[in-house]
Structure 1
């Protein structure tokens, strides 16, 4: 849980099918890494619309800061959630069906004017969670420090990989 001196980040993670879990699990791993509280809901925009509506309409009152929603094919879930809440919604188009996620990507990214949904790459659950962390870091200095350290660590990994490549190239 990420709670200190009034700072608290709670993220909702919604997926339309249990087959989405292997991809959406990557978001949960990132949230856990940053000690961010999250709740997971499996609910379908088409098969359980009342559940989606109830969750979305009450998300702010329940303390959520944003919602990550993964959806494949027609990918209505992120947009439906956005229609019921004023919280930021981060859509993750999931690879599925004959169009391999392009249909989901286009459905999520083409939201009508006035109903924004931040859209990640196909299967981009990890980046969705990182965006949620960035949103929380705007008002939480401890989370901001953790995120900065995460970015610095990524930089150092690339520097180390470059050293190995340079050594390999020089020995050729």
Structure 2
């Protein structure tokens, strides 16, 4: 049963949302991914958000651009955590999406990551799930160790070849 719902407003959001899916797969977290427009098909959206808890979702990762109502509307209906990913837009560089997601009314929180922050959204979802899953917590610790080792390897290369030959 999927623990995370990944929902996006358009297939143009897929490259960012795929990064979230990749991280969840790496950590062994089941997810369900779908495209739903909160504006163009509100009835389908409402059914998705209402049924998410029954499907077993513990977290929803919602990505949207421009007006970016999808994450906030998920949070208004779904009783569990929602993580919003603001998408980069050509008109305002994603600031419009970011403001739409972070400026939620009191009582309807949406956790928000950086513009196009699919990977961090998945890691935040994993950390939420890890509060009640010891095995997942160990996987997250291993993931952090790998990141540390990557930085150390890059520094070792820099020290060996110098910045001009890096």
Residue in 2 aligned with 1:5? none
Alignment partner of 2:96: what SS? helix
Residue in 2 aligned with 1:108? 101
Q: Which runs of 5+ in 1 are unaligned?
A: 2-8
Query: Quick check: 1:53 aligned with 2:46?
Result: yes
Identify the structure with the greater strand proportion: 1
> 1:171, CA displacement in angstroms?
9.4
Query: Quick check: 1:76 aligned with 2:83?
Result: no
Query: Quick check: 1:162 aligned with 2:138?
Result: no
Deviations 1:77-132 (A, max 9, x none): 00011111111000000012310111001110111111000011000011000101
- Normalising by structure 1, what TM-score? 0.91
Trace 1:86-101 onto structure 2 (pairs within 5 A): 86-101=79-94
Alignment partner of 1:113: what SS? coil
Trace 1:131-170 onto structure 2 (pairs within 5 A): 131-169=124-162
For the aligned residue pairs, the C-alpha RMSD in angstroms reads: 1.6
Q: Which runs of 5+ in 2 are unaligned?
A: none
Moved over 2 A (4+): 168-172
Aligned length: 165
- Normalising by structure 2, what TM-score? 0.95
